[in-house]
Structure 1
Amino acid sequence: MQITFLGTGTSQGVPVIGCSCAVCRSVDYRDKRLRVSVHLQVAGKSIVIDSGPDFRQQALRQRIDHLDAVVFTHEHKDHTGGLDDIRAYNFRQQQDMPLHAEPRVLTQLQQEYAYIFADHKYPGVPRVELHPIESDTEVFEVAGVPFQPIRALHYKLPVLGYRVGGFTYITDANYLSPDSLDLMRGSEIIVLNALRHEQHISHFSLQEAVDILEDLAPARGYLTHISHQLGRHHDVEANLPPNIRLAYDGLVVSSEW
């Protein structure tokens, strides 16, 4: 299984509009962070988790010329704002795009993208198939690939992370129950959000994320959904445990399937 980090930034991205801090002025390509998303290539399938506002740019940069499904973690705009750009895959593949999400999230998509679901559609709008994730504990299939949902809380909003084989992906969370942690345990790679050094109402801080990863002890841990408040990539990574790294846009890693 090949995992590509399409975006590793927070909802504002990095650099932040109008900011002149050292991170936003950095010339290190690893400090340029689009909105958070990952691309999985597994069992001959191409699957994206979250299609944020930068999805078109990300798909072009990584040359994703085929897409079998989109899976959503939750309904916030930095995770859903690029949905319209699946049109290119509709045209290319001549089929509807499967969208997998909890019923609440699918309802939000139907409201925000009402033109996609209109009775009388404008020619060329995205074509989708809705696949509700009805259980936050039972494995479901995405293009034939088993996904284990993992419940997390994003402040008071219930969101989903996912485990696919030896790879676990959690973003936009500040609480994981003991049961959720047990589902993550034994993963070869775990990705966890780490917004900044200070505690935050809806995201793990750097130390909170590191503590969880050290407890779960994956072979490799990666941090994502990073804000400019965390600091420059080079400076932060120098102080992390050897098996925990900061993810960055375009990073490609592999995991056992």
Structure 2
Amino acid sequence: MVDTSPDLRHQLLAQDIGKIDGVFWTHDHADHCHGIDDLRALRFGRSNAIPGFSSTETMRRLQKRFDYVFEGQHGYPTIVEIAPVENLRMHAGFGVDSMEMPHGPINTTAFKFDADGKSIGYATDFSELTDEMVTFFKDVNILVCDCLRRQPHPTHACLATALELAKRSKAGKTVLSHLDKSMDYATLSEEIPKNVLVGYDGMKLLA
């Protein structure tokens, strides 16, 4: 799982998800982490805490804000055991790489997941497209990409920036995400290349 949005409980129920192997946080802004308490239900039945990963700075901020999640208190078990992500290798044949992206005055973490010769990139909340990002996401099978609106924004990618990353990285498919209410699904779908898709809740993708 990537991030714990405030509507996490609803999303888990809608997709009938009762178990996860781990959670990755891109950064600590409220819309990406304030559903963290809903991980409590996923902790039940486990013999150990849920593995969690983020940048060192995000980890520090999350631990300060949600200390009970990471420490366990008053007889309740630790919900998440968090660690720095730094090129984590989770299992044989499954890998996770990460890099930092500019998100206005802070950084957010991009992830790339590799398994069985396929790769999925995750780039949310970035305000500037860098050459390092293009290299990082080069030839991924699927790229989930920040795309807040059509007009430029000081902390998020606009449509032109998202499409530029999709083109320069040569991603097999790009899924536009983090869309605001101005990004009508039907209208936007007609404007974008065929290998670029408009994301929506419950969308399922195969690499």
Q: 2:169 aligns with which of 216, 223, 245?
A: 216
Q: 1:127 aligns with which of 79, 89, 98?
A: 79
**Distance (Å, rounded) in 2 between the aligned partners of 1:242 and 1:116:** 42
Is residue 68–residue 143 contact of structure 1 (8 Å, CA) maintained in 2? no
Aligned to 1:253, the other structure's residue is in SS state coil
Aligned to 2:4, the other structure's residue is in SS state coil
The residue aligned with 1:229 is 182
Q: Give, in angstroms, the shift of residue 94 of structure 1.
A: 3.0
Q: Give, in angstroms, the shift of residue 213 of structure 1.
A: 1.0
The residue aligned with 2:48 is 95
List runs of 5+ in structure 2 lacking aligned partners: none
The residue aligned with 2:100 is 151
Q: Give, in angstroms, the shift of residue 179 of structure 1.
A: 2.0
After superposing the two structures, state which structure 1 stretch, 64-73 or 174-183, moved more.
174-183
Is residue 149–residue 162 contact of structure 1 (8 Å, CA) maintained in 2? yes
The residue aligned with 1:75 is 28
The residue aligned with 1:41 is none
**Distance (Å, rounded) in 2 between the aligned partners of 1:168 and 1:116:** 27
| Per-residue Cα deviation, 1:65-86 (whole angstroms, up to 9, x for no partner) | 2111111111111111111111
| Per-residue Cα deviation, 1:48-105 (whole angstroms, up to 9, x for no partner) | 0101111111111111121111111111111111111111121122321111011211
**Distance (Å, rounded) in 1 between the aligned partners of 2:181 and 2:75:** 41
Q: 1:203 aligns with which of 132, 143, 156?
A: 156
After superposing the two structures, state which structure 1 stretch, 48-57 or 143-152, moved more.
143-152
Aligned to 2:182, the other structure's residue is in SS state helix
**Distance (Å, rounded) in 1 between the aligned partners of 2:68 and 2:103:** 29
**Distance (Å, rounded) in 2 between the aligned partners of 1:188 and 1:115:** 38
> RMSD in angstroms over aligned alpha carbons?
1.7
Number of residue pairs matched by the alignment = 202
Aligned to 1:238, the other structure's residue is in SS state helix
List runs of 5+ in structure 1 lacking aligned partners: 1-47
Between the two structures, name the one with larger relative contact order (CA 8 Å, sep ≥ 6). 1
Is residue 86–residue 126 contact of structure 1 (8 Å, CA) maintained in 2? no
Q: 2:197 aligns with which of 216, 220, 245?
A: 245
After superposing the two structures, state which structure 1 stretch, 152-161 or 141-150, moved more.
141-150
Is residue 6–residue 32 contact of structure 2 (8 Å, CA) maintained in 1? yes
| Per-residue Cα deviation, 1:96-140 (whole angstroms, up to 9, x for no partner) | 111101121111111211333567x1344652212113x4xxx21
Q: 2:88 aligns with which of 132, 140, 145?
A: 140
Q: Percent identity?
A: 24
- Summarize the Cα distance change of 1:118–1:146 in structure 2 as closer, same or farther, 3 Å threshold: closer
